Amino acid sequence: MRTPAGQDGSGTSCRVLIYSHDTFGLGHLRRSRAIANAIVGANRDVRAVIVSGSPVIDRFAFAEGVEAVRVPPVTKLPDGDYASLDPGVPLERVVAERTAIIARTVDAFRPHVMIVDKEPTGFHGEILPALERLSERGCKLVLGLRDVLDDPERLVPEWERKGATGAMRFYDEVWVYGVPRIHRPLEAFAPGLADRPIYTGYLRRALPELRPGRSEPAVTDKPFILVTPGGGGDGAALIDWVIAAYEADPGIPLPALVAFGPFLDAGTRTGFLDRIAKISERIAAITFDSEIELLMRKAEGIVAMGGYNTFCEILSFDKRAILVPRTRPRREQEIRAVAAQALGLARVLLEAEGRAPARMAAALRALPAQSPPSKVVVPGLLDGLDVIAARVRALTAPDAEAFSDLRRRACP
């Protein structure tokens, strides 16, 4: 691994390492990128490196002061197990390579703070050696969790099986990127662990800088609905349901733009394009847009699965939304979506209640009149990036106790 430019451990700049295992989709990478960009943007003397297993990391731009180190990618199978993205390489060898790259990154970069995304021990325990080493060096270790992990009845035994509960001894702080009114992800654990989280609020998203030569589909020139299943690897059912609604109901008032996502199966995408071609005056499609925030800002409403990043964007751009959460292999999206609907932040369509085209069509018809999220007041709802930047300053201050009041800035 090359040493990140100008970041060989020398000098006095604060160095933040963000670990993102990225076994599936775009969520972990996009969350880590938002956090890294915000930290360096709020603190001039901070440098950040993201260690990521995303196979599409090269398609994303990062703020000045943020670099990325890629580890060999793995993929999640339909049954929840994992495999190397290269079928000719055993998973054990990939994990060993990833562990070695992480170790070299830690030694070269010598971070003052390490933020671990979601998995306390990393993928298959790959960051445990790094946690041991950094803990001995006095590096501040932070576990960053999205607002919802899974059904508590499944999460507790999963963490025990992975050794995650025992690994919590390494962490100085636990941040939850959300608000407790939506969910308390560690509530099912013993009080010593359940009471640890600092609730930062959700991560407010900003518009990316407009890329020269950027073009957008003609459908976006007028009011439209954006349909996005995130990375697309598990979004076929959502896309099929929306297309079926437009096929069945020619009176849906707004056209739709479907962003398939880079991980949607190629054969499935071809089938969808054939269907869309027959109703092209009312629905269009693209494969992927690394600046999808620009489309979200323009859209009259959004139809999505309810993943963490998309939910942050719906809140940030104050968009009316229909959420169609997946329920396997985790209930994360369903838990988030149902809680959001209870607060009045979005509307939810659960597939278990039926996937009739007329049901989706009715929701699409009603979407323009739906209340936007801003009609609901939730204290600290989008304070996440500000709180995170403040916590980094607090953790690296000469007298960290002088900043203890920053904990109280977290959401109640």
Residue 5 domain-assigned (yes or no): no
Backbone angles phi, psi at 302, to 5 degrees: -130, 140
Mark whether 147 and 259 lie in a shared domain: no
Count structural domains, the chain: 2
Q: Is residue 171 part of a domain?
A: yes
Residue 8: the pLDDT is: 46
Range of the domain at 284: 218-375
Does residue 47 fall inside a structural domain? yes
* Confidence check: pLDDT of 77 > 80: no
**Does residue 225 share a domain with residue 87?**
no
33 & 158 share domain: yes
Question: Tokens 């109901």 appear where?
Answer: 249
Indicate if 396 and 293 belong to the same structural domain. Answer: no
Quick one: 61 and 200 in the same domain? yes
39 shares its domain with 182: yes
Residues 360 and 389 both lie in one domain: no
Q: Please give the pLDDT value at position 399.
A: 57
In sequence order, the 6+-apart residues with CB closer than 8 A to the CB of 303 are: 225, 226, 227, 228, 238, 242, 256, 321, 322, 324, 364, 367
User: How far is Cα 343 from Cα 98, in angstroms, rounded to an integer?
Assistant: 41
Residue 362 lies in a domain: yes
Looking at every residue in the chain, the average pLDDT score rounds to 90
- The pLDDT value recorded for residue 407 is 36
The answer on 336 and 302 residing in a single domain is yes
One domain, residues 318 and 397: no
Confidence of residue 24 (pLDDT cuts 50, 70, 90): low
98 in any annotated domain: yes
Residue 26 banded pLDDT, cuts 50, 70, 90: low
**Spatial distance between the Cα atoms of 300 and 318, rounded to a whole number of angstroms:** 10
Q: DSSP H helical segments within 249-307, as ranges? A: 266-277, 292-298
Rg of the chain taking only CA atoms, in angstroms: 21
pLDDT, tens digit, 9 for 90 and up, residues 358-377: 999 999 999 999 999 999 99
Residue 323 is assigned to a structural domain of this protein: yes
Q: Which CATH number belongs to the domain containing residue 197 in this structure? A: 3.40.50.2000
Q: Say what the pLDDT of residue 144 is.
A: 97
pLDDT tens string 288-315: 898 999 999 999 999 999 999 999 999 9
User: 386 and 371 in one domain?
Assistant: no
Residue 9 lies in a domain: no
2 assigned to some structural domain: no
pLDDT single digits (tens) 122-165: 999 999 999 999 999 999 999 999 999 999 889 999 999 999 99
Q: Do residue 46 and residue 153 come from a single domain? A: yes
> Do 295 and 364 sit in the same domain of this protein?
yes
